[in-house]
Structure 1
Amino acid sequence: MAVYQDTLTQQTRGRGTHHITTAVEHIVRASGITTGTCHVFQHHTSASLLVTENADPDVRHDLETLIARMAPDGDPAYRHDMEGDDDMAAHARAMLTHNDLTVPVGQGRLILGTWQGLFLWEHRYAAQTRKLTITVQGE
């Protein structure tokens, strides 16, 4: 079994979803692996990863609305607010979602459903630079 690993640096515009499917697929192609798995891990406690609808942006907007209800900014019960109203909310949102994901690889490509895409979900207001490690393994 072969293993290939690379790092992806993603600049965000602040809170919201950032499409990373194309960048991850580029790494999968560079790996030369045709059948296996692709694991994506992001190194931050105030962002997350998701596989979701990539055709209608309203889905991602609605997910933002839903998570804002679960982890609202500036909740007076929060003690951790060193970096502003979005500080603890961003950590809670990351904890409620995923820090990593694994996608099957077939014929040298990610095997995703018709409407699926990979997204980095930024939970902070301000633009950030996020580091992701992509590991592809297989044959």
Structure 2
Amino acid sequence: MAYQETFEIRTSGRGMSDVTGQVAAIVERAPKGAGLAHVFVRHTSCSLLMTENADPDVRRDLETLARRWAPDGDPAYRHDLEGDDDMAAHARSVLSGTDVTVPFNDGQLLLGTWQGIYLWEHRARGHMRQVVVTLIE
């Protein structure tokens, strides 16, 4: 059995948005059983990741690391059509990934105590992002 829904989220610029609730709601609506929830973002300048959901310092520290991995405005970048953050956003997306997979059972995500699913916006300004959730039983 496969079941799929898409939702949109408006970001406010660089940073993380918790999408655990939206994914959990889709799993709750789907037919009951055990399987995998594959969560995918349809963009190349943001990411999806699973990280700690208790201490916001973890997310701030990840942003600090991302600035080191892919700094805005590096003069070596050729792709800068949309500004100094353009290529850096694409590089951050490649480094952190565009999907996560989470097991579920009987309408519940089987996340660990401190785990949450986050959309990580890598662009300086906000965007409307589409997230596809596919449930495979």
**Same-fold status (TM-score > 0.5):** yes
Residue 106 of structure 1 is matched in structure 2 by 105
Matched, 1:93 2:92: yes
CA distance in 2, matches of 1:34, 1:74: 48
What is the CA-CA distance between 1:106 and the residue it aligns to?
1.6
Query: What SS does the corresponding residue of 1:85 show, helix, strand or coil?
Result: coil
Q: CA deviation at 1:67?
A: 1.0
Q: Are the equivalent residues in 1 in contact too, given 2:29–2:107 (CA < 8 A)? A: no
Structure 1 ranges of 4+ moved more than 3 A = none
Q: In 1, distance between residues paired with 2:48 and 2:101?
A: 10
Secondary structure at the aligned position of 2:130 is classed as: strand
The TM-score with structure 1 as length reference comes to 0.96
- What TM-score do you get using the length of structure 2 for normalisation? 0.97
Residue of structure 2 equivalent to 1:37: 36
Gaps of at least 5 residues in structure 1 are none
Contact preservation (8 Å) 1:34, 1:109:
no
| Equivalent residue letter for 1:35 | A
CA contact (8 A) 2:73 2:88 kept: yes
On the 8 A contact 1:33/1:136 being kept in 2, the answer is: no
Within 2, Cα distance between the matches of 1:89 and 1:107? Answer: 40
User: Secondary structure in 2 aligned to 1:22?
Assistant: helix
Instruction: List gaps (5 residues or longer) in structure 2.
Output: none
* Alignment RMSD: 0.7
- Report how far residue 33 of structure 1 moved: 2.9
Q: Could you tell me which residue of structure 2 aligns to residue 13 of structure 1?
A: 12
Write the deviation string for residues 28-63 of structure 1: whole angstroms up to 9, x where unpaired. 111123311100111100000000000000000000
Give 3-state SS (helix, strand or coil) of 2:29's partner: helix
Task: Please report how far the alpha carbon of residue 96 of structure 1 lies from its aligned counterpart in structure 2 after TM superposition.
Answer: 0.4
Alpha-carbon distance in 1 for matches of 2:128, 2:95: 21
The aligned counterpart of 2:71 is: 72
Amino acid at match of 2:130: K
Q: Which amino acid aligns with 2:43?
A: H
How many residues are aligned here?
Answer: 137
Are 1:33 and 1:137, in contact at CA under 8 Å, matched by a contact in 2? no
Q: Does 1:28 pair with 2:27?
A: yes
Q: Please name the residue that 2:133 is paired with.
A: 134
